[in-house]
Chain A
């Protein structure tokens, strides 16, 4: 079975961060689920904190410095995306949104996404569904139904005993693994290949409108 690539974007600001802890759990569970289906998977983790200056520079200059370009290519060419952000002031963090903003608006079309978020208390948990999910829907990505929210208490004794974090993680991972398995292996489309920007077998005459579909 062809190996799949999962990109993990973690937008936590501290190091170590609970955002990253959640991201790692989601990634490990997804790899495990895929392995259960006999599908090997590789995980590439992108810590946005390391790219914060590059992201700002790209917003100002319009082009990505090399490290950010590599990260962007990793995300847009992946078979699936795990996107995890802290909830700040009722929504994704500014750094998380800035990274999304420097992606080509069409780059995530059809991408299976598992959304994760974390915050101090469970009172912020719906932010996944009113803030983060619409963002990915707008981009024509395909977020799986389960979003995994982790409150600080989920990491300790006051955790949700009925639906513990680990079972929510497993459920989200199962859905993402299934979405990845259903999808053909991501093939990187070269935007400078005439077959990509003109259409297979087409010529500039088609852009001119002089040649009908054939």
Chain B
């Protein structure tokens, strides 16, 4: 793995192909997406990330199920999300699902947290969108605790309290998945990423670069402020959007109907205006290389670049061709260009292996071995052989039952 990771991210939309007026079934689109993900590894990409939605015309309600299948069919690909809803999901379930995915995927897992942009999801899951930020802050604090501590006592505003709870399985090798925090407009989320020393991901699709520049610059400064390293050592991921053909005019001609009818920005600005204002690049592979090789001039040296290539009703055959171009012509050159003059103290993109090495060095890596079932299907207040003794263990009911 090189200093930077390249990959694709999908929002899992099922959109009519405006050129043929046909729409694939959920079953077909899901199979197509799996094909696309496996092909991402075949062409040499590093990351496949999947969004989360809970309404048609999207299918991806259960990303870890999907990613687990992909993990079984690949060997190197890092499975990630774009994004996982930290507001409406139960943080306990996130902790469990992603630790589980880590184990089946041999650590090739990280995740990006977001608040979601579909209003009704909040009430559907019993939440209030006006508390979106508060939910993101509290739920993530709990998620961290569930991964970092074997036994959690916790009480908050949004979830039923936990007493003596252990999220299983424990993170693979004692190292939780790396977390990116995604935001397109909220400085508090950049602050949150900086506070924890986590990564910050800017989707870099819908807004002019100046907007993301301010968010990323804030994140970098605050990363340094909270003592995780220098500003240029903060961990930044960017999205992007491309469509390529060998001949630039062919790319524009072919992509235009998909752009013009795209649910998110269709019937608005022209393809040319949107390409000028945002990182959307429609043209030759060389044009894509030139545009994205320049990203670090705006955002600083960064760790991850993901491309959106499978949306707006593009046929799976076309998407696979885009992957061939990305893997064959674009990414190898970008890897080289973005490696040139990269300062030595800018960290490489996070991987499980590197994070395990950073935590344990040459020493033994944590292997969580549970203590025996006491007979009530619980393993006591020290659920694993190496669980530290709880603070204040000599008090309360738990103390009297130790070793029971």
Q: Does A associate with B in a complex? A: yes
Interface residues of A, Cβ cutoff 8 Å to B: 56-57, 60-63, 65-66, 191-192, 194, 197-198, 203-204, 207-209
Please report the C-alpha to C-alpha distance between residue A65 and residue B277 in the assembled complex, in whole angstroms. Answer: 7
Judged by a CB distance under 8 angstroms, whether B264 is at the interface is yes
A65–B273 contact, CB under 8 A? Answer: yes
A61–B269 contact, CB under 8 A? Answer: yes
Judged by a CB distance under 8 angstroms, whether B294 is at the interface is no
B269–A197 contact, CB under 8 A? Answer: no
Closest A-B pairs by Cβ, 3 of them:
A60-B268, A204-B195, A63-B207
18 A–B contacts, CB within 8 A, in A order: A57-B273, A60-B267, A61-B268, A61-B269, A61-B274, A63-B207, A63-B208, A63-B211, A65-B277, A66-B208, A66-B277, A191-B187, A192-B187, A194-B187, A194-B191, A204-B191, A207-B191, A208-B137
Judged by a CB distance under 8 angstroms, whether B284 is at the interface is no
Q: Specify which chain B residues have a CB less than 8 angstroms from the CB of A57 in the assembled complex.
A: 268-269, 273
Please report the C-alpha to C-alpha distance between residue A66 and residue B273 in the assembled complex, in whole angstroms. Answer: 11
Contact of A192 with B214 at beta-carbon distance under 8 Å, contacts A204-B195, A207-B188 already known = yes
Of B137, B187, B206, B214, the residue contacting A62 (CB under 8 A) is: B206
Q: How far is the CB of A66 from chain B (nearest CB, A)?
A: 7
Please report the C-alpha to C-alpha distance between residue A194 and residue B215 in the assembled complex, in whole angstroms. Answer: 11
Q: How far is the CB of A106 from chain B (nearest CB, A)?
A: 13
Smallest Cβ-Cβ distance to A64: which chain B residue: B208
Contact code string B182-217 (vs A, CB < 8 Å = 1, else 0): 000001100110110000000000111001001101
Please report the C-alpha to C-alpha distance between residue A208 and residue B142 in the assembled complex, in whole angstroms. Answer: 11
B265–A192 contact, CB under 8 A? Answer: no
Q: Specify which chain A residues have a CB less than 8 angstroms from the CB of B138 in the assembled complex.
A: 208-209
Contact code string B265-285 (vs A, CB < 8 Å = 1, else 0): 111110001100100000000
Q: Specify which chain A residues have a CB less than 8 angstroms from the CB of B269 in the assembled complex.
A: 57, 60-61, 65
Q: Specify which chain B residues have a CB less than 8 angstroms from the CB of A207 in the assembled complex.
A: 137, 188, 191-192
Q: How far is the CB of A199 from chain B (nearest CB, A)?
A: 12
Q: Specify which chain B residues have a CB less than 8 angstroms from the CB of A62 in the assembled complex.
A: 206-207
Contact of A56 with B268 at beta-carbon distance under 8 Å, contacts A61-B206, A66-B208, A207-B137 already known = yes
Please report the C-alpha to C-alpha distance between residue A62 and residue B194 in the assembled complex, in whole angstroms. Answer: 26
A60–B187 contact, CB under 8 A? Answer: no
Please report the C-alpha to C-alpha distance between residue A77 and residue B274 in the assembled complex, in whole angstroms. Answer: 27
**Among B141, B187, B214, B265: residue with most chain A CB under 10 A:** B187
B265–A61 contact, CB under 8 A? Answer: yes
Please report the C-alpha to C-alpha distance between residue A151 and residue B300 in the assembled complex, in whole angstroms. Answer: 57
Please report the C-alpha to C-alpha distance between residue A62 and residue B208 in the assembled complex, in whole angstroms. Answer: 11
Judged by a CB distance under 8 angstroms, whether B218 is at the interface is yes
Q: Specify which chain A residues have a CB less than 8 angstroms from the CB of B191 in the assembled complex.
A: 194, 197-198, 204, 207
Q: Specify which chain A residues have a CB less than 8 angstroms from the CB of B382 in the assembled complex.
A: none
Judged by a CB distance under 8 angstroms, whether B222 is at the interface is yes
Smallest Cβ-Cβ distance to B270: which chain A residue: A57
Q: Specify which chain A residues have a CB less than 8 angstroms from the CB of B265 in the assembled complex.
A: 60-61
Of B217, B218, B264, the residue contacting A61 (CB under 8 A) is: B264
Please report the C-alpha to C-alpha distance between residue A60 and residue B270 in the assembled complex, in whole angstroms. Answer: 12
User: Known contacts A63-B211, A194-B187; can you find 15 more A-B pairs with CB under 8 A?
Assistant: A56-B268, A57-B273, A61-B264, A61-B269, A62-B206, A63-B277, A65-B269, A65-B273, A191-B187, A192-B187, A192-B215, A194-B218, A204-B191, A204-B226, A207-B191
Please report the C-alpha to C-alpha distance between residue A33 and residue B215 in the assembled complex, in whole angstroms. Answer: 41
A197–B268 contact, CB under 8 A? Answer: no
Q: How far is the CB of A41 from chain B (nearest CB, A)?
A: 29
Smallest Cβ-Cβ distance to A69: which chain B residue: B208
A208–B141 contact, CB under 8 A? Answer: yes
Smallest Cβ-Cβ distance to A197: which chain B residue: B187
Please report the C-alpha to C-alpha distance between residue A65 and residue B211 in the assembled complex, in whole angstroms. Answer: 11
Q: Specify which chain B residues have a CB less than 8 angstroms from the CB of A208 in the assembled complex.
A: 137-138, 141
Q: Specify which chain A residues have a CB less than 8 angstroms from the CB of B273 in the assembled complex.
A: 57, 65
Smallest Cβ-Cβ distance to B137: which chain A residue: A207
Q: Specify which chain B residues have a CB less than 8 angstroms from the CB of A204 in the assembled complex.
A: 191-192, 194-195, 226
Q: Specify which chain B residues have a CB less than 8 angstroms from the CB of A192 in the assembled complex.
A: 187, 214-215, 217-218
Q: Specify which chain B residues have a CB less than 8 angstroms from the CB of A61 in the assembled complex.
A: 206, 264-265, 268-269, 274
Of A56, A66, A197, A203, the residue contacting B188 (CB under 8 A) is: A197
Q: How far is the CB of A208 from chain B (nearest CB, A)?
A: 6
Please report the C-alpha to C-alpha distance between residue A209 and residue B142 in the assembled complex, in whole angstroms. Answer: 13
Please report the C-alpha to C-alpha distance between residue A176 and residue B211 in the assembled complex, in whole angstroms. Answer: 33
Q: Specify which chain A residues have a CB less than 8 angstroms from the CB of B195 in the assembled complex.
A: 203-204
Q: Specify which chain B residues have a CB less than 8 angstroms from the CB of A198 in the assembled complex.
A: 188, 191
Q: How far is the CB of A205 from chain B (nearest CB, A)?
A: 8
Please report the C-alpha to C-alpha distance between residue A191 and residue B217 in the assembled complex, in whole angstroms. Answer: 13
Q: Specify which chain B residues have a CB less than 8 angstroms from the CB of A203 in the assembled complex.
A: 195
Q: Specify which chain B residues have a CB less than 8 angstroms from the CB of A209 in the assembled complex.
A: 138
Please report the C-alpha to C-alpha distance between residue A203 and residue B188 in the assembled complex, in whole angstroms. Answer: 11
Smallest Cβ-Cβ distance to B268: which chain A residue: A60
Contact of A194 with B222 at beta-carbon distance under 8 Å, contacts A60-B265, A61-B269, A204-B192 already known = yes
Q: Specify which chain B residues have a CB less than 8 angstroms from the CB of A66 in the assembled complex.
A: 208, 277
Smallest Cβ-Cβ distance to B267: which chain A residue: A60
Q: Specify which chain A residues have a CB less than 8 angstroms from the CB of B218 in the assembled complex.
A: 192, 194
Please report the C-alpha to C-alpha distance between residue A194 and residue B277 in the assembled complex, in whole angstroms. Answer: 27
